[in-house]
Amino acid sequence: MKAKLPLSQDQKLHVLRRVEPGCLGPKGVDHIEEFCAFAEEKVEPIDSEFVHWEIVPRHNKKEAEMQYKINKKILSHDKAAKYLELFNKDLDEFEEHLHEKLSYLVDHYWDKQ
């Protein structure tokens, strides 16, 4: 079964990605807020027909790095995978693509400084 587009915001998969300040180096804590805003702007167009992105700092290591929600309801990894299957996406590949994009953005963030 394929989902019908366009989707309203509450039907989109809300992907919350927490980024650790250390990925920006020893002074990352001084730059993490700005980097997250920069990264969110750059990933926003990716799969935007069915995904809403939120990139935030991960100051507490007890918080999950990735979190999925639909209409403010937290989804398990399996339910997020099923949702993405509606759009012919594999969750592991989806996460890997985001990880690669964020690594790329870390390098380009420093280029713009």
Chain segment 55-104, per-residue pLDDT in tens:
999 999 999 999 999 999 999 999 999 999 999 999 999 999 999 999 99
- Strand 51-57 with 13-19, pairing: parallel
- Assigned domain for 4 exists: no
- Return the pLDDT at 1: 60
- Assigned domain for 15 exists: yes
Counting residues of the chain whose pLDDT is more than 90, the rounded percentage is: 90
Q: What is the mean pLDDT of the chain?
A: 94
Task: Decide: pTM greater than 0.85.
Answer: yes
Q: What angle do CA 62, 66, 69 make, to 5 degrees?
A: 110
Domain limits for position 80 = 11-112
- Assigned domain for 49 exists: yes
Neighbours of 24 (CB within 10 A): 18
Say which range, 3-17, 25-39, 43-57, has the weakest mean pLDDT: 3-17
